[in-house]
Chain A
Amino acid sequence: MEHLSPWVIFFASIFTGNILLTYFLGMCSFLSVSSQVKTSLGLGLAVTFVLTVTSALNYVVFDYILEPLHIEYLRYIAFIIVIAAAVQLIEMVIERVSEVLYINLGIFLPLITVNCAILGVSLFMVIRNYSFIQSVMFGLGSGLGWTLAILSMAGIRQRLNEKRIPPALQGAGIALIISGIMAMAFIGFAGMVQIQ
């Protein structure tokens, strides 16, 4: 994969290979924190930050520690430790910058640790053999793609509040249907650029 420009990877991970809508990773917080645009944007930016930082850190950890020592099979646990530390850091940053966002995100902030989109990006980057720059752009792009997805979802859900929805479909039901339709729209782009 040496030949791919980092910019191609960046845009592809936002639009054609959206981590959420084409790979269905990070669905949990996507469904539960997408009721307000403001909070979604906050969580999206937090995820983007964590993704970018962890893809860089995990690249270093994998290439300079795990691979030379031939202990690649430890990548799952090593990646998760790095992710947990990065989340701790972003928690401190958010608490300092915006107490309101901190309380609104509540439990979903520490739960970014177990957001599978983040572990997924680190594992993809290893499988696809990306270089450092490619990995960072992939992380940043995937984060922005995830933010884009949750923001669109929040926008739709805010408008849905005024619509009449059959009682059986209210809440999670309609949210899943919407994400399905959104995913189909994104899969339409999937063939345009191949990054794997």
Chain B
Amino acid sequence: MTPNILTTVFALSGISGLLAVLLVIAERFLANYGECKVTINDDKELIVQGGSTLLTTLGSEKIFLPSACGGRGTCAYCKCKVVEGAGPVLPTEAPMLTPDDVKNNIRLACQVKVKQDFRIEIPEELFNIKEFKSTITSIRDLTYDIKLVRFELDDPNEISFKPGQYIQVYTEPYGDVKESISRAYSIASPHTEKSYIDLMIRLVPDGICTTWVHQHVSEQQRVKLVGPMGDFYVRDGDGEMIMIAGGSGMAPFVPILHDMKNRGVKRKVTYFFGAVSKRDLFYIDEMKALEQELADFTFVPALSEPAPDDNWDGETGLITQPLANYIRERDMSNAHAYLCGSPGMIHACIIILNKYGITEDRIFFDPFS
């Protein structure tokens, strides 16, 4: 009986082993797509190992397309234009593509696989998104609850961004928070300074990232950043610019105004800044200086509840008050409005802007969320 059992075992193992070897060889030839060339915007060429999805392939080359669903084809954020190489539309992407998308070769990067040379087009802004290793070199109090944090970029050591864009900060686990999370902050340093970025981070009660930055982080902390992202930047035009911000919503306007000063832009700019009381105001001196340096810039701070000893003689009330008073009397048919602050503030201001003649297509905003 024993020889019989042994024969059985050897025969079956032999057959299975032989087939396994055959499959491994087949895989070397069939599932190996070799090196493929991905040409981006007819400009940059990447040599990549074929066989993975476009999204992962680009990710491994440190080009980050937005993706919220993690490559399952349900969020459609990773849409991009594939000029050549993708083959017919797949059943898994069809529900996410409009007829216009199909006509324009728009595909879901998370579904399309790189099996041959690709030519794709992605917006330059995305092309620019990188993962940075950085070190915190200074943390300064702007107000009692807003800190200005400087991140020196280590690798890569330079960033180029449009004034008004934001960057994602990745926290490290601390205390009860066991996972790394990411939060977006507008860059508050001039875009001409490429070796570091400043972020204005306000302490939000129970906020994971803000608590980390305010209470657990010190100088020399290494931080991962991914960016720049966002389409909150100044659009061309010659009409007046209305800027509205509250609290740390100041951040994107610092590089925006700095850039306008550098380029000698002559547009009329009125900047409404909302705070609770005097202890929430910051960068006042910088703004006063900009009023001198820019061609036509007015800074209008407004306090909603000035403390008795603030001796406040400026605007009082919610920011919507001075805003309405100002635009009611002026011609706003060419004006653009830029808003950054809490969703509530932005919502209230948009109602006022609409009411006095600034239509949605000329309003640009960046809500905290």
State the A residues within 8 Å of B (CB).
61, 65-66, 69, 71, 74, 77-78, 81-82, 85, 88-89, 92-93, 95-96, 99-100, 103-104
Q: Across the interface, do B19 and A103 meet the contact criterion of CB distance under 8 Å?
A: no
Give the number of chain B interface residues (Cβ < 8 Å).
24
CA distance A69 to B115 in the complex (A): 45
- Interface residues of chain A: helix, strand, loop or mixed (majority): helix
Closest to A78 in B: B15
Contact call A96/B31, Cβ cutoff below 8 A: yes
Asked if B99 is an interface residue, CB under 8 A from chain A, the answer is no
Distance in Å from the Cβ of A84 to the closest Cβ of chain B? 8
Give every chain A residue within 8 A of B19 (Cβ-Cβ). Answer: 81-82, 85
Q: Verify A96–B15 contact, CB threshold 8 A.
A: no
Q: A92-B30, A92-B31, A104-B91 are in contact. Are A99 and B15 (CB under 8 A)?
A: no
Tell me which residues across on chain B come within 8 A of A74, comparing CB atoms.
8, 11-12
17 contacts between A and B (CB under 8 A): A65-B14, A66-B11, A78-B11, A78-B12, A78-B15, A85-B19, A85-B20, A85-B22, A89-B23, A89-B26, A92-B26, A92-B27, A96-B30, A99-B115, A100-B87, A100-B90, A100-B91
Indicate whether B344 reaches chain A with its CB closer than 8 angstroms.
no
SS of B interface (majority): helix
Residue in contact with A103 in the complex, picked from B8, B27, B92, CB distance below 8 Å = B92
Q: How far is the CA of A81 from the CA of B11 in the complex (A)?
A: 12
- A82 and B15 contacting across the interface, CB-CB below 8 Å: yes
- Chain A residues with CB under 8 A of B23: 85, 88-89
Q: A99-B113, A103-B92 are in contact. Are A61 and B31 (CB under 8 A)?
A: no
In the bound assembly, the distance between CA atoms of A89 and B270 in angstroms comes to: 68
Contact in complex: A77, B12 (CB < 8 Å): yes
Closest A residue by C-beta to B19: A85
A93 → B minimal CB distance (Å): 6
**CB-nearest residue of chain B relative to A94?**
B30
Tell me, in angstroms, the Cα distance from A61 to B22 when the chains sit together.
15
A16 to B92, CA, bound (A): 40
CA distance A174 to B16 in the complex (A): 42
Q: Kindly list chain B residues whose C-beta atoms are within 8 Å of the C-beta of A78.
A: 11-12, 15
Of the candidates A81, A92, A100, which one forms a contact with B16 in the assembled complex, judged by CB atoms under 8 Å apart? A81
State in angstroms the CA–CA spacing of A130 and B132 once bound together: 68
**B22-39, CB < 8 A from A:** 22-23, 26-27, 30-31, 33
Q: How far is the CA of A77 from the CA of B8 in the complex (A)?
A: 11
Distance (whole angstroms) from the CB of B290 to the closest CB of chain A: 55
On whether the beta carbons of A71 and B8 are closer than 8 Å, the reply is: yes
- Chain B positions 62 through 97: 1 when the CB is less than 8 Å from some CB of chain A, otherwise 0: 000000000000000000000000011011100000
User: Are A93's CB and B30's CB within 8 A?
Assistant: yes
Cβ of B215 within 8 Å of any chain A Cβ, yes or no, is no
- What is the CA–CA distance of A88 and B16 in the complex, to the nearest angstrom? 13
**B91 partner, pick from A93, A96, A103, beta carbons under 8 A:** A103
Task: List 18 extra interface pairs beyond A78-B15, A92-B26, A103-B91, CB under 8 A.
Answer: A61-B15, A65-B15, A69-B7, A71-B8, A74-B11, A74-B12, A81-B12, A85-B19, A85-B20, A89-B23, A95-B31, A96-B31, A96-B33, A99-B87, A99-B90, A99-B113, A103-B90, A104-B91
Q: In the assembly, what is the distance between CA of A82 and CA of B150, in Å?
A: 63
B88→A100 contact, CB < 8 A: yes
Contact A65 B11 (CB under 8 A): yes
The residue that A81 contacts in the complex, of B15, B26, B88, B113, with Cβ under 8 A, is: B15
Cα(A82)–Cα(B8), bound, Å: 16
**What's the nearest-Cβ distance from chain B to residue A89, in Å?**
5
| Residues A71 and B11 in contact, CB atoms below 8 Å apart | yes
